[in-house]
Chains A and B, each alone.
Chain A
């Protein structure tokens, strides 16, 4: 079957603009190769940029089912324009450039697709992600509630955290971090996959975040809230709201980069005091597990080092 794909790319020199386009892929053709070829061709006399890696391909989506529904699953079907209208932030009135950071654009496309019958990509876990998710689920079933997860670089913590939210059927997942992490990058990953279709990601820095949470909850969605741990009056208000004013649910709480800033009493104490006994707290860190503990008292530990990732790759 011929299929419609959309793609997104940007140049690192300008990360507030991105290009969103489409490629109609014929039966038997490889969609990845075809989309990349289309992007390269579109660069005209500057194909060298693509060849030397100065063009970053952010995402490729299969939108065939939706295109079929709206009668655009065909050559020059302009499915990209159809989606573009629903996203906005277009540069000019006819171009394919959007005045948006690529992560934000990808998030908007994901959220748009979540609202349709278009199946999203199925997330597969690496062996180490699977094993450590299983480890947490087992510990949780045994009554463990505060865990230290020492997970190395390249482990894939965001998808892993999302997988746990799904597996534990957590109504409210809080991802707290002291490090300046991009909400868009985090949210993009947590909206890209089929298994995450029921997740709604909310940035607690948004003025209307409470409305967003309540509206999603009422629709039976699982809510994932991103929360900055940087100290302020607003932080305490958000903690109060998330841990006390939302009743009737056990929370899944991730403290990201727990050994960096988040470990100090000033940052961790408000969370230690706010958490309910049945909330599951996972302190995630790449290094310095002991420091990451801060003022928390843990009842379970899990860890994966980079060497273990390599050993898995080598089949050792």
Chain B
């Protein structure tokens, strides 16, 4: 209870609503490949990616041109990429920002070439390069002046009703608050979840009443595009904890507040809770989070080694010697950290994390086999049954008692296991 401050309910008004869009660019690639069949082909690897694009953007000019024409001008018969069609909004003056892949280096003028190609396509637009190689009115752009330069560019564009597109490959992802940015495009493959959140936040600075921040993930394979997942799952976890509800229900409420759309030729399609849950399972976002959130500090080096090797003789281990290494979110050890891990130890740690993720991935089947409602109940049934106990120990590499212990010690996150089960249950129901 605070003594000097009260809650001001009007403060929430400043929070800008956000919409996420998953855009599928595969038809733009196919169209470009008609003229250049080896586009994005690297040996036997034919999958298109932003990384490949960034390595040789001039070669992929056909794709880039088609994509820009479709996204900003609604041309090329690619309505799934047409922002105005998908959002059902038309505006003459607008400020958009695009984050490009890291492979698009400033050295060798790759980024500069992309800026030039963009200017060639988007006639009547101002294109502002926010990077170490960018210039504005004779000044080199830096992190320090990026915000000011952008405000100046906006002021100039406003006077002539000229739309502005800001291009960056990483600069201005923090401490860059421009209220006029309403559309933000993520043009890179897998990225660090934290960096993606920072980039998304650039469209969330409040400005005029009624602003909606629209985030577009331009993806070559939306089924594998997990850019929004970490934020959504973390929100559900926090909400579940704060409101004391099941994490699945929390995710339902999160998705009820934030819209995620898949774009299609017939317009945007709202991704509902059940579909989203299945999608995050299909692209292994939950498993990755299980591995990432696993509190390895709680494990001794012996335990880590055992998990890494899938050895089930867990009970004989000394668990008192906590690893005291690695990082985690919410546990305290109160001990000084030791020297950095060796390469071998890091490899073991990585393997152990993967084992933990695999365990959580397969736990839902135990609940189905034992006909129990929760993961915990199923593990308890298995622990008390000789046959199940042997089965789990054999299949998972660790006995059910240990898995329960891993949850209790906070090594494994129970919320994520519950979400995994809910998703698998949906899959089964849909397939039966």
| Chain B binder among A24-32, A210-218, A227-235, A285-293 | A285-293
- Assuming the contacts A305-B238, A307-B231, A316-B256, asked whether A130 and B15 have C-beta atoms less than 8 A apart, the reply is no
- Assuming the contacts A130-B2, A287-B194, A289-B329, asked whether A307 and B201 have C-beta atoms less than 8 A apart, the reply is no
- Assuming the contacts A13-B155, A305-B231, asked whether A311 and B5 have C-beta atoms less than 8 A apart, the reply is no
| A304 CA to B242 CA, complexed, in Å | 10
Asked whether A53 lies within 8 Å of B254 as measured between CB atoms, the reply is no
Chain B 138-154: CB-based contact to A (< 8 A → 1; otherwise 0): 00000110001001101
Residues of B within 8 A of A308 (CB): 235, 238-239, 242
Asked whether A257 lies within 8 Å of B197 as measured between CB atoms, the reply is no
Asked whether A309 lies within 8 Å of B15 as measured between CB atoms, the reply is yes
Asked whether A313 lies within 8 Å of B13 as measured between CB atoms, the reply is yes
Asked whether A167 lies within 8 Å of B4 as measured between CB atoms, the reply is yes
Asked whether A12 lies within 8 Å of B151 as measured between CB atoms, the reply is yes
Count of CB-CB pairs between chains A and B under 8 Å? 175
| A144 CA to B331 CA, complexed, in Å | 11
Chain A 161-194: CB-based contact to B (< 8 A → 1; otherwise 0): 0010011000000000001110000000000000
| A257 CA to B201 CA, complexed, in Å | 14
Enumerate A262-316 residues with CB–CB distance to B below 8 Å. Answer: 286-291, 293, 295, 297-301, 303-314, 316
A41 within 8 A of B: no
| Chain B binder among A77-85, A87-95, A148-156, A242-250 | A148-156
Chain A 184-225: CB-based contact to B (< 8 A → 1; otherwise 0): 000000000001000000000000000000000000000000
| A233 CA to B197 CA, complexed, in Å | 34
Enumerate B15-40 residues with CB–CB distance to A below 8 Å. Answer: 15-18
| Chain B binder among A65-73, A105-113, A118-126 | A118-126
Q: Size of chain B's interface in residues, with CB distance under 8 A?
A: 67
| A309 CA to B15 CA, complexed, in Å | 7
Measured CB to CB, the closest approach of chain B to A294, in angstroms, equals 9
A127 within 8 A of B: yes
Asked whether B2 lies within 8 Å of A306 as measured between CB atoms, the reply is no
Question: Which of the residues A54, A133, A304, A307 comes within 8 Å of B2, measured between beta carbons?
Answer: A133
Chain B 333-346: CB-based contact to A (< 8 A → 1; otherwise 0): 11111000000000
B1 within 8 A of A: yes
Enumerate B148-204 residues with CB–CB distance to A below 8 Å. Answer: 148, 151-152, 154-155, 158-159, 174-175, 180, 192-195, 197-198, 200-201, 204
- Assuming the contacts A298-B332, A314-B257, asked whether A125 and B11 have C-beta atoms less than 8 A apart, the reply is yes
- Assuming the contacts A293-B327, A305-B231, A310-B17, asked whether A299 and B254 have C-beta atoms less than 8 A apart, the reply is no
B43 within 8 A of A: no
Q: Counting chain A CB atoms within 10 Å of each CB, which of B4, B143, B208, B336 scores highest?
A: B4
Residues of A within 8 A of B234 (CB): 303, 305
Chain A 136-155: CB-based contact to B (< 8 A → 1; otherwise 0): 01000000101010101110
Residues of A within 8 A of B17 (CB): 310, 313
B232 within 8 A of A: yes
B123 within 8 A of A: no
B209 within 8 A of A: no
- Assuming the contacts A53-B207, A167-B2, A295-B337, asked whether A125 and B329 have C-beta atoms less than 8 A apart, the reply is no
Asked whether A180 lies within 8 Å of B144 as measured between CB atoms, the reply is yes
Q: Which residue of B lies closest to A309 (CB)?
A: B15
Q: Counting chain A CB atoms within 10 Å of each CB, which of B5, B175, B242 scores highest?
A: B5
Question: Which of the residues A137, A153, A301 comes within 8 Å of B329, measured between beta carbons?
Answer: A301
Question: Which of the residues A54, A124, A299, A303 comes within 8 Å of B5, measured between beta carbons?
Answer: A124
Residues of B within 8 A of A129 (CB): 11
Question: Which of the residues B175, B208, B253, B327 comes within 8 Å of A316, measured between beta carbons?
Answer: B253
B330 within 8 A of A: yes
Known: A12-B152, A53-B207. 19 other contacts (CB 8 A): A13-B151, A13-B155, A53-B180, A124-B5, A125-B2, A127-B12, A131-B242, A133-B2, A133-B5, A134-B2, A179-B174, A259-B194, A287-B197, A288-B192, A301-B329, A305-B231, A306-B18, A313-B15, A316-B256
Kindly list the 6 A-B residue pairs having the minimum CB-CB distance in the complex, ordered from nearest: A124-B8, A299-B332, A287-B194, A288-B194, A301-B330, A307-B235
